[in-house]
Amino acid sequence: MKHSQTIGILLCLALIYTTTQPFIIIESRNWVITGWNPVGSSFGQSGKFLCFFSALSALFFALPYIWAKRFNMVFGALMLAWAFRNYLILATCQMGECPQRQWALYGCIFLSGLILLMTFLPKIKVS
């Protein structure tokens, strides 16, 4: 695929933006939990991991070396696994209270999956 590297970089930037948006809303406590701001919960700042590896992945999409493309596959798999982990932890009903899932929670999984797909389609000149 000719434009997979450019698309991968744009997807990484979109993932970084998505982590700043609300993941879930817990109405009983008036908490809006994002990837960077867990308010008063014990969920942690799960968006930092995605942002760090997304920035690293964007850098490796831009590098023309074979080792960078191979590491990028690992980073894509880690991001997808972490986004799925976030979904399992944040969207779970606890003590009879279910949070309202927002679009960014699903968006992180979708974008991470697309980033992983783009890592399988590198533009490399074979000699």
User: What's the confidence (pLDDT) of residue 15?
Assistant: 95
Could you give the CA distance from residue 16 to residue 47 in angstroms, rounded to a whole number? 8
What mean pLDDT do residues 10-35 have? 90
> Which has more confidence, 87 or 41?
87
**CA angle (109 as vertex; 115, 44 as ends), nearest 5:** 115
Q: What confidence tier does 127 reach under pLDDT thresholds 50, 70, 90?
A: low
Q: What is the mean pLDDT of residues 79-94?
A: 91
Question: What order of strands is seen across the sheet that includes strand 22-26?
Answer: 31-34, 22-26, 100-101
* Residue 59 binned pLDDT confidence (cut-offs 50, 70, 90): very high
Question: Has residue 1 got a pLDDT over 70?
Answer: no
- Residue-averaged pLDDT of the chain: 89
Average pLDDT over residues 5-31: 91
pTM, 2 dp? 0.90
Check: CB of residue 19 under 8 Å from CB of residue 36. Answer: yes
Cβ-based neighbour number of residue 95 at 10 Å: 4
Statement: residue 38 has pLDDT above 90:
no
Task: Encode pLDDT of 41-53 as tens digits.
Answer: 767 788 889 999 9
